[in-house]
Amino acid sequence: MSTAMNFSSKSFTPRPPDKGAFPLDHFGECSAFKERFMECLRQSGYESGACRQRAMAYLECRMERRVQLMANEPLEKLGFKDLINEKSEEKPEK
């Protein structure tokens, strides 16, 4: 006796995740930032916390590029609130 199951009544349409994945940088627009970040990781023994400034710069590059390498997102939501506060404190007041 054979049993056939028919799952064709519903179709599945995949969609990309909201966060956690973004397109490859095919044109290398942010490769300099990526290389600086990777260099920092190698020098720090792959301790990512030591390279947060460079990670933030890399993500900023991706958000600023015209080919939509990454959706614009406030850096505070990406975990860089403390670094943004440091930046604003370092700027001299006019």
- Residue 90 to residues 28, 35, 67, 87, Cα–Cα distance (Å): 31, 26, 32, 5
Is the pLDDT score of 6 beyond 60? no
In terms of Cα–Cα distance, which of 32, 12, 13, 30 is closest to 22?
30
pLDDT recorded at residue 78:
87
Sorted by where each begins, the domain ranges of the chain are 30-88
- Residue 21 to residues 17, 26, 50, 53, Cα–Cα distance (Å): 7, 15, 23, 20
pLDDT tens column, 13-66: 766 556 666 678 888 899 999 999 999 999 999 999 999 999 999 999 988 886
